[in-house]
A and B are shown apart, each in its own frame.
Chain A
Amino acid sequence: MLKQSGLTPDSARYREIVPAGGYWIKRIAKDQILRIVDLEGNQAADTLFFCADDPAERYSAVDTIRAQGNVYLGLGSKLMSTECNVMLEIVADMVGQHDTLGGACASESNTVRYALDKRTMHACRDSWLLAIAEHDEFKLTKRDITHNINFFMNVPVTPEGDLSFADGVSGADKYVEMRACMDVIVLISNCPQLNNPCNAYNPTPIEILIWGTA
């Protein structure tokens, strides 16, 4: 189900464009609204959330899937933590379906999925690792890199148990918007993947907007 946001970009307190292959990390406060915009379409925003006061509590794909009884994320999805608390809720969505099964690309999984000589290609996990190294104020390490959300990405599953990476259902200027239900650290890799159709083999920028008081 699609729902347009009532918020206008010119009223946002924060706007930033994250280039393809870049990262974004920031603390946002409870009740702030976070929007991620797929500026050119068919991009994937690989996103992790951590409880700001206790980063050992973090986004849990399996608890989110189980709690809502559905594998896909969309409008109304409550993004659950490892302690089964609601971290954020999707309050507007122009895409309809987001993935949280497929994980992030890594140099090492690229060797398995495509070819051993892909091991030096840039990958989401490298962006995350650089982000937490350059922002040690968040006290995150590789231990904290866990299963993520792929906003805008389409990973359909079937009753027979198959799973595939399909062409995206997103498009230029489509967005997803969340309300934070606790103070959270947001860590995003704007996916640099060049080997599969999740971003049409063409990584493009995303925009981040925030509304509400810090």
Chain B
Amino acid sequence: MSFQFDSLVAFYAMGGHGPFVWLSYLFTLMVLVWLVASPLLRARRLRAALARRRPGAGHQRSAEEKES
């Protein structure tokens, strides 16, 4: 198993198919990063909102205790 290209320039050019290959990988990278980042950001926003709203001790009955 060896590196398939003569040089990094050749690697970048991909024998003329460079734009297509790199665009594909770039687009995928952006989508995957967004897929991971969006729930993390959402969770952080939710936690921040909760922490702000109740600065003192909260006497909230657990929703689960209420349910069962």
A binds B: no
- B residues sitting closer than 8 Å to A (CB atoms) are none
